[in-house]
Amino acid sequence: MKTLVIDIGGTKFAMALFDGDRMARRESRATDRTGGREWMVTNVETLAREWMPFDRVAIGFGGPVNFATQVIATSTHVGGWQGFPLTAYLRDALGVPVIMDNDANVGAIGEAEYGAGRGADPVFYMTLSTGIGGGIYSNGSVWRGADSFAGEIGHLTIHPDGKDCLCGARGCFERHCCGLWLEHDYGEPAFELLKSPQFVDGYVEDLALGLKACIMLLNPARIVIGGGISKAGDKLFVPLRDRLRKNITNWSGARINVVPAALADDSVLWGALSLARSL
Ligand SMILES: [Zn+2]
Protein backbone atom coordinates (compact mmCIF):
# COMPACT_ATOMS: atom_id res chain seq x y z
CA MET A 1 0.00 0.00 0.00
CA LYS A 2 1.48 3.32 -1.10
CA THR A 3 0.22 6.56 0.45
CA LEU A 4 0.94 10.07 -0.79
CA VAL A 5 0.79 12.62 2.02
CA ILE A 6 0.73 16.40 1.58
CA ASP A 7 1.30 19.20 4.10
CA ILE A 8 0.07 22.54 2.71
CA GLY A 9 1.31 25.50 4.74
CA GLY A 10 1.55 29.26 4.35
CA THR A 11 5.36 29.25 4.29
CA LYS A 12 6.12 25.91 2.68
CA PHE A 13 4.50 22.76 1.48
CA ALA A 14 5.84 19.24 1.84
CA MET A 15 4.97 15.94 0.23
CA ALA A 16 6.04 12.41 1.11
CA LEU A 17 5.41 8.97 -0.30
CA PHE A 18 4.97 6.15 2.21
CA ASP A 19 5.49 2.53 1.21
CA GLY A 20 3.57 0.83 4.03
CA ASP A 21 4.90 2.61 7.15
CA ARG A 22 8.22 3.60 5.57
CA MET A 23 8.75 7.10 4.27
CA ALA A 24 10.29 6.35 0.88
CA ARG A 25 10.44 9.83 -0.56
CA ARG A 26 10.05 13.38 0.69
CA GLU A 27 10.20 16.84 -0.80
CA SER A 28 9.58 20.32 0.56
CA ARG A 29 9.25 23.62 -1.31
CA ALA A 30 8.63 27.24 -0.36
CA THR A 31 5.03 28.43 -0.79
CA ASP A 32 4.47 31.31 -3.20
CA ARG A 33 1.75 33.08 -1.21
CA THR A 34 1.15 35.60 -3.99
CA GLY A 35 0.38 32.72 -6.37
CA GLY A 36 -2.63 31.84 -4.21
CA ARG A 37 -4.57 28.64 -4.59
CA GLU A 38 -3.78 28.07 -8.25
CA TRP A 39 -0.04 28.05 -7.69
CA MET A 40 -0.35 25.50 -4.90
CA VAL A 41 -2.78 23.20 -6.68
CA THR A 42 -0.61 23.17 -9.83
CA ASN A 43 2.54 22.38 -7.86
CA VAL A 44 0.93 19.64 -5.79
CA GLU A 45 -0.70 18.03 -8.82
CA THR A 46 2.48 18.13 -10.92
CA LEU A 47 4.61 16.55 -8.19
CA ALA A 48 1.93 13.96 -7.42
CA ARG A 49 1.83 12.86 -11.07
CA GLU A 50 5.62 12.43 -11.04
CA TRP A 51 5.35 10.19 -7.97
CA MET A 52 2.61 7.89 -9.28
CA PRO A 53 1.58 5.16 -8.69
CA PHE A 54 0.08 5.35 -5.18
CA ASP A 55 -3.14 4.01 -3.68
CA ARG A 56 -4.44 6.92 -1.63
CA VAL A 57 -3.77 10.53 -0.67
CA ALA A 58 -4.08 12.36 2.66
CA ILE A 59 -3.68 16.11 3.16
CA GLY A 60 -3.05 18.42 6.10
CA PHE A 61 -4.20 21.91 5.07
CA GLY A 62 -3.02 25.10 6.77
CA GLY A 63 -6.42 26.55 7.58
CA PRO A 64 -9.87 25.48 8.73
CA VAL A 65 -11.31 22.49 6.86
CA ASN A 66 -14.88 21.26 7.12
CA PHE A 67 -14.05 17.62 7.78
CA ALA A 68 -17.58 16.34 7.16
CA THR A 69 -17.86 17.88 3.68
CA GLN A 70 -14.10 17.80 2.90
CA VAL A 71 -14.19 21.41 1.76
CA ILE A 72 -11.69 24.10 2.80
CA ALA A 73 -13.47 26.67 4.96
CA THR A 74 -10.92 29.44 4.40
CA SER A 75 -7.27 30.41 4.59
CA THR A 76 -6.42 33.66 6.28
CA HIS A 77 -2.87 33.61 4.89
CA VAL A 78 -3.25 32.61 1.23
CA GLY A 79 -6.02 33.76 -1.10
CA GLY A 80 -8.50 31.75 -3.16
CA TRP A 81 -9.10 28.73 -0.94
CA GLN A 82 -12.49 29.59 0.55
CA GLY A 83 -15.00 26.83 -0.23
CA PHE A 84 -12.57 24.90 -2.43
CA PRO A 85 -13.22 21.13 -2.53
CA LEU A 86 -9.55 20.11 -2.68
CA THR A 87 -10.32 16.47 -1.86
CA ALA A 88 -12.75 16.07 -4.77
CA TYR A 89 -10.43 17.96 -7.12
CA LEU A 90 -7.44 15.71 -6.44
CA ARG A 91 -9.55 12.55 -6.45
CA ASP A 92 -10.70 13.39 -9.97
CA ALA A 93 -7.24 14.49 -11.11
CA LEU A 94 -5.31 11.54 -9.65
CA GLY A 95 -7.94 8.78 -9.70
CA VAL A 96 -7.42 7.61 -6.08
CA PRO A 97 -9.28 8.22 -2.79
CA VAL A 98 -8.30 11.42 -0.98
CA ILE A 99 -8.91 12.68 2.57
CA MET A 100 -8.07 16.04 4.16
CA ASP A 101 -8.11 17.75 7.53
CA ASN A 102 -6.78 20.93 9.09
CA ASP A 103 -2.97 20.67 9.49
CA ALA A 104 -3.06 21.12 13.25
CA ASN A 105 -5.47 18.20 13.60
CA VAL A 106 -3.26 16.08 11.35
CA GLY A 107 -0.14 17.18 13.25
CA ALA A 108 -1.88 16.19 16.50
CA ILE A 109 -2.46 12.69 15.12
CA GLY A 110 1.18 12.48 13.98
CA GLU A 111 2.70 13.56 17.29
CA ALA A 112 0.21 11.56 19.40
CA GLU A 113 0.77 8.32 17.48
CA TYR A 114 4.37 8.59 16.31
CA GLY A 115 6.01 11.49 18.15
CA ALA A 116 6.28 13.40 21.42
CA GLY A 117 2.69 12.67 22.50
CA ARG A 118 3.05 8.89 22.56
CA GLY A 119 1.83 7.39 25.83
CA ALA A 120 -0.09 10.55 26.85
CA ASP A 121 -3.88 11.03 26.65
CA PRO A 122 -5.32 13.54 25.98
CA VAL A 123 -2.71 15.33 23.89
CA PHE A 124 -3.06 18.93 22.79
CA TYR A 125 -0.93 19.78 19.78
CA MET A 126 -0.22 23.37 18.86
CA THR A 127 1.50 24.48 15.70
CA LEU A 128 3.48 27.65 16.19
CA SER A 129 4.42 28.63 12.70
CA THR A 130 3.21 31.09 10.03
CA GLY A 131 -0.05 31.01 12.03
CA ILE A 132 -1.17 29.21 15.18
CA GLY A 133 -3.40 26.15 15.12
CA GLY A 134 -4.36 23.47 17.60
CA GLY A 135 -5.54 19.87 17.63
CA ILE A 136 -7.13 17.85 20.43
CA TYR A 137 -6.33 14.13 20.39
CA SER A 138 -7.83 11.61 22.76
CA ASN A 139 -8.77 7.97 22.79
CA GLY A 140 -7.32 7.29 19.35
CA SER A 141 -8.83 10.17 17.42
CA VAL A 142 -9.08 13.93 16.95
CA TRP A 143 -11.92 15.82 18.62
CA ARG A 144 -13.20 18.15 15.90
CA GLY A 145 -16.30 19.70 17.47
CA ALA A 146 -19.64 20.40 15.77
CA ASP A 147 -18.25 22.37 12.80
CA SER A 148 -14.62 21.19 12.59
CA PHE A 149 -13.43 24.32 14.40
CA ALA A 150 -12.40 22.71 17.69
CA GLY A 151 -8.86 23.48 18.79
CA GLU A 152 -8.61 26.77 16.86
CA ILE A 153 -6.74 28.49 19.67
CA GLY A 154 -5.00 30.86 17.25
CA HIS A 155 -8.04 33.10 17.51
CA LEU A 156 -8.50 33.11 21.27
CA THR A 157 -8.41 36.71 22.46
CA ILE A 158 -5.35 37.27 24.63
CA HIS A 159 -5.35 41.10 24.49
CA PRO A 160 -8.86 42.65 24.31
CA ASP A 161 -7.36 45.92 23.06
CA GLY A 162 -4.68 44.25 20.99
CA LYS A 163 -3.80 44.47 17.32
CA ASP A 164 -6.18 43.73 14.44
CA CYS A 165 -6.09 40.10 13.32
CA LEU A 166 -6.73 38.80 9.79
CA CYS A 167 -9.83 37.01 11.13
CA GLY A 168 -11.52 40.38 11.77
CA ALA A 169 -11.17 40.30 15.56
CA ARG A 170 -8.43 41.94 17.58
CA GLY A 171 -5.86 40.78 20.09
CA CYS A 172 -5.89 37.17 18.92
CA PHE A 173 -3.28 34.70 20.19
CA GLU A 174 -2.08 34.26 16.60
CA ARG A 175 -1.90 38.02 15.99
CA HIS A 176 0.54 38.42 18.86
CA CYS A 177 2.53 35.17 18.68
CA CYS A 178 2.74 33.64 15.18
CA GLY A 179 5.72 33.84 12.84
CA LEU A 180 3.99 35.93 10.19
CA TRP A 181 3.09 38.74 12.60
CA LEU A 182 6.30 38.60 14.64
CA GLU A 183 8.24 39.30 11.47
CA HIS A 184 5.78 42.02 10.47
CA ASP A 185 5.86 43.73 13.88
CA TYR A 186 9.57 43.42 14.69
CA GLY A 187 11.15 43.34 11.22
CA GLU A 188 13.03 40.11 11.83
CA PRO A 189 12.12 36.44 11.45
CA ALA A 190 11.09 34.61 14.63
CA PHE A 191 14.25 32.48 14.82
CA GLU A 192 16.37 35.66 14.97
CA LEU A 193 14.10 37.35 17.53
CA LEU A 194 14.21 34.29 19.79
CA LYS A 195 17.98 34.64 20.18
CA SER A 196 17.29 37.56 22.53
CA PRO A 197 16.38 36.55 26.13
CA GLN A 198 14.61 39.90 26.59
CA PHE A 199 12.39 39.19 23.60
CA VAL A 200 11.71 35.65 24.85
CA ASP A 201 10.63 37.00 28.28
CA GLY A 202 7.88 39.10 26.73
CA TYR A 203 6.98 36.48 24.15
CA VAL A 204 6.41 33.67 26.66
CA GLU A 205 4.04 35.93 28.60
CA ASP A 206 1.77 36.03 25.56
CA LEU A 207 2.27 32.35 24.77
CA ALA A 208 1.38 31.42 28.34
CA LEU A 209 -1.89 33.37 28.10
CA GLY A 210 -3.03 31.22 25.20
CA LEU A 211 -1.76 27.95 26.62
CA LYS A 212 -3.26 28.58 30.04
CA ALA A 213 -6.71 28.68 28.42
CA CYS A 214 -5.96 25.33 26.80
CA ILE A 215 -4.77 23.78 30.07
CA MET A 216 -7.79 25.07 31.99
CA LEU A 217 -10.27 23.88 29.37
CA LEU A 218 -8.79 20.51 28.44
CA ASN A 219 -6.40 19.43 31.21
CA PRO A 220 -4.16 17.75 28.64
CA ALA A 221 -1.72 15.07 29.78
CA ARG A 222 0.80 16.68 27.44
CA ILE A 223 1.00 19.71 25.18
CA VAL A 224 3.17 19.18 22.13
CA ILE A 225 4.27 22.29 20.24
CA GLY A 226 5.34 21.96 16.62
CA GLY A 227 6.05 24.37 13.78
CA GLY A 228 9.15 26.40 13.01
CA ILE A 229 9.17 28.49 16.20
CA SER A 230 9.18 25.37 18.41
CA LYS A 231 12.66 24.58 17.09
CA ALA A 232 14.05 27.27 19.43
CA GLY A 233 14.21 24.46 22.03
CA ASP A 234 15.07 25.04 25.71
CA LYS A 235 15.61 28.77 25.36
CA LEU A 236 11.90 28.99 24.62
CA PHE A 237 10.46 26.00 26.49
CA VAL A 238 12.18 26.53 29.86
CA PRO A 239 10.91 30.13 30.33
CA LEU A 240 7.53 29.12 28.88
CA ARG A 241 7.05 26.38 31.49
CA ASP A 242 8.17 28.80 34.23
CA ARG A 243 5.67 31.37 33.05
CA LEU A 244 2.84 28.82 32.95
CA ARG A 245 3.67 27.71 36.50
CA LYS A 246 3.34 31.34 37.63
CA ASN A 247 0.07 31.90 35.71
CA ILE A 248 -1.58 28.68 36.86
CA THR A 249 -1.96 28.99 40.60
CA ASN A 250 -1.53 26.22 43.15
CA TRP A 251 -5.31 25.97 43.18
CA SER A 252 -5.05 23.90 40.00
CA GLY A 253 -3.51 20.46 40.15
CA ALA A 254 -3.34 20.34 36.34
CA ARG A 255 0.03 19.20 35.06
CA ILE A 256 2.22 21.50 33.02
CA ASN A 257 3.81 19.13 30.56
CA VAL A 258 4.82 21.17 27.52
CA VAL A 259 7.31 19.70 25.06
CA PRO A 260 8.52 20.33 21.50
CA ALA A 261 7.33 18.10 18.68
CA ALA A 262 9.49 15.03 18.09
CA LEU A 263 8.88 14.72 14.37
CA ALA A 264 10.22 18.19 13.52
CA ASP A 265 8.86 19.19 10.10
CA ASP A 266 7.13 15.85 9.58
CA SER A 267 4.36 15.81 12.24
CA VAL A 268 1.70 16.51 9.61
CA LEU A 269 3.14 14.00 7.12
CA TRP A 270 3.06 11.17 9.69
CA GLY A 271 -0.38 12.20 10.89
CA ALA A 272 -1.62 12.15 7.31
CA LEU A 273 -0.39 8.57 6.95
CA SER A 274 -2.60 7.63 9.90
CA LEU A 275 -5.53 9.68 8.55
CA ALA A 276 -5.28 7.86 5.21
CA ARG A 277 -6.04 4.56 6.96
CA SER A 278 -9.62 5.73 7.38
CA LEU A 279 -10.11 5.75 3.58
ZN1 LIG B 1 -7.87 36.23 14.85
Distance of CA 93 from the midpoint of ligand 1 (Å): 34
Confidence at residue 126, expressed as pLDDT on a 0 to 100 scale: 97
Q: Quick one: which of 125, 56, 25, 69 has its CA closest to 273?
A: 56
Expressed in angstroms and rounded, the spacing between residue 208 Cα and the centre of ligand 1 is 17
- Among left, alpha and beta (phi > 0; psi -120 to 50; other), residue 65 is beta
pLDDT digit string, tens, across residues 181-195? 999 999 999 999 999
Q: Do domains 2-105+266-276 and 117-262 have the same CATH topology?
A: yes
Global confidence as pTM: 0.95
Report the pLDDT value the prediction gives residue 82, as an integer from 0 to 100.
Answer: 93
Instruction: Give me ligand 1 centre to Cα 154, in Å.
Output: 7
Mean local confidence (pLDDT), 236-260? 95
Task: Find the radius of gyration of the CA atoms of the chain.
Answer: 18
Alpha carbon of 159 to ligand 1 centroid (Å): 11
CA of 94 to the centre of ligand 1 (A): 35
Q: How far is the CA of 164 from the centre of ligand 1 (A)?
A: 8
**145 pLDDT above the threshold of 90:** yes
| Ligand 1 center–CA 172 separation, angstroms | 5
Confidence of residue 10 (pLDDT cuts 50, 70, 90): confident
Predicted local confidence at residue 192, as pLDDT = 95
Q: Give the torsion through C-alpha atoms of 116, 28, 52, 262, to 10 deg.
A: -10
Indicate the pLDDT class of residue 78, thresholds 50, 70 and 90. confident
For a pLDDT cut of 70, what percent of the chain falls above it?
100
Q: Establish whether the linkage from the previous residue to 64 is cis, with ω within 30° of 0.
A: no
Distance 5 CA to ligand 1 centre (A): 28
Q: Specify the pLDDT at position 37.
A: 93
CA of 10 to the centre of ligand 1 (A): 16
Cis peptide before 239 (omega within 30 of 0): no
Q: What is the assigned CATH class of domain 117-262?
A: alpha beta
Contact between 229 and 179 (Cβ < 8 Å)? yes
Measured in Å, residue 222 CA sits from the centre of ligand 1 at 25
Give yes or no for residue 79 having a pLDDT over 90. Answer: no
Distance between CA 86 and CA 97 in Å, rounded?
Answer: 12
Contact predicate 162/210, CB 8 Å? no
- Classify domain 2-105+266-276 by CATH architecture: 2-Layer Sandwich (3.30)
* Three-state DSSP state, 96: coil
Where are the domains positioned within the chain? 2-105+266-276, 117-262
What integer pLDDT is reported at residue 74 of this predicted model? 83
CA of 184 to the centre of ligand 1 (A): 15
Q: What is the pLDDT of residue 77?
A: 73
Residue 225: band (very low, low, confident or very high) from pLDDT cuts 50, 70, 90: very high
Percent of residues, the chain, with pLDDT higher than 90: 91
Segment 84-100 shows an average pLDDT of: 97
Q: How far is the CA of 156 from the centre of ligand 1 (A)?
A: 7
Q: Is the pLDDT of residue 76 over 90?
A: no
β-pair type (56-61, 2-8): parallel
In this predicted structure, the answer to whether residue 240 has a pLDDT above a threshold of 90 is yes
- Cα of 24 to ligand 1 centre, how many Å? 38
Query: Where would I find the beta strands (DSSP E) of 65-145?
Result: 65-66, 71-72, 98-102, 123-128, 132-138, 141-142
The count of other CB atoms within 10 Å of the CB of residue 114 is 19
Instruction: Quote the mean pLDDT of the chain.
Output: 95
